[in-house]
């Protein structure tokens, strides 16, 4: 008959067990890539389920590309049962929820940025009146003068007049980077 002895001071840490389902599996894998939480620590993959796709959307922010990703995620979610019978689809089907969420948030942030397939999208009328000025000394580059409309606030997103500014690229990249960093820290 075997003899068992309980040893409390063994110095070995118990393993971490995080139960996952179809939705949380891919987020747990992302967290485990950076390090597995120790026993009795908070599992950060619960927070990653929302923050990872949202920060992707803030960084990506394009209506067209985001909507294509959203449609791909929707297709995989809606037809997961028949697709699971096909060999080799298991890996792609495990990503269906992250594709869906990343596409949703990228589309949402694309609306905020007024960006469709890297082309400025004018959903509402601009709060600036643009006036073309004659070019100087035979130059082929047109000059513009922008005048703000009184008491005008652009309803959502970035006013499309920003896309005509000389510092448009610096402004947009700076805005997206600052929003990403601020939200990432929060």
| Under 8 Å between Cβ of 13 and 26 | no
Nearest to 31 by CA among 14, 53, 10, 46: 46
* 1-44 pLDDT tens trace: 678 888 777 777 777 888 899 999 999 999 999 988 888 888 89
Residue 84 clears pLDDT 70, i.e. is over it: yes
Is the confidence at residue 133, as pLDDT, over 80? no
Judged against a pLDDT cut of 90, whether residue 148 lies above it is answered with no
pLDDT at 143 > cutoff 80: no
Residue 125 clears pLDDT 90, i.e. is over it? no
CB atoms within 10 A of CB 28: 20
Tell me the pTM.
0.78
CB 47 within 8 A of CB 172: no
Helix (H/G/I), strand (E/B), else coil: 166? coil
| pLDDT of res. 141 | 65
What is the Cα–Cα distance from 56 to 168, expressed in whole angstroms? 22
Cα 117 vs. chain centroid, distance in angstroms?
Answer: 15
Indicate the DSSP class of residue 165. S
Position 138 pLDDT exceeds 80 = no
* φ and ψ at residue 74, rounded to 5 degrees: -65, -45
């Amino acid at each position: 008959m075997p003899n068992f002895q309980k040893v409390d001071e063994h110095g070995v840490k118990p393993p971490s067990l995080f139960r996952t389902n179809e939705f949380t599996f891919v987020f747990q894998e992302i967290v485990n890539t950076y390090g597995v939480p120790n026993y009795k620590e908070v599992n950060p993959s619960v927070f990653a389920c929302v923050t990872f796709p949202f920060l992707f959307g803030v960084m990506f922010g394009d209506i067209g590309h985001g909507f294509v990703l959203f449609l791909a995620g929707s297709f995989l979610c809606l037809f997961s049962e028949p697709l699971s019978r096909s060999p080799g689809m298991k890996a792609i089907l495990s990503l269906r929820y992250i594709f869906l969420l990343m596409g949703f948030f990228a589309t949402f942030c694309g609306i905020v940025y007024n960006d469709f397939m890297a082309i400025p999208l004018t959903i509402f009328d601009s709060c600036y009146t643009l006036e073309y000025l004659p070019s100087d000394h035979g130059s082929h580059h047109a000059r513009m003068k922008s005048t703000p409309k009184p008491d005008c606030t652009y309803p959502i997103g970035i006013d499309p007049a920003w896309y005509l500014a000389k510092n448009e690229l610096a402004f947009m990249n700076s805005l997206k980077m600052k929003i990403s960093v601020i939200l990432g820290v929060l």
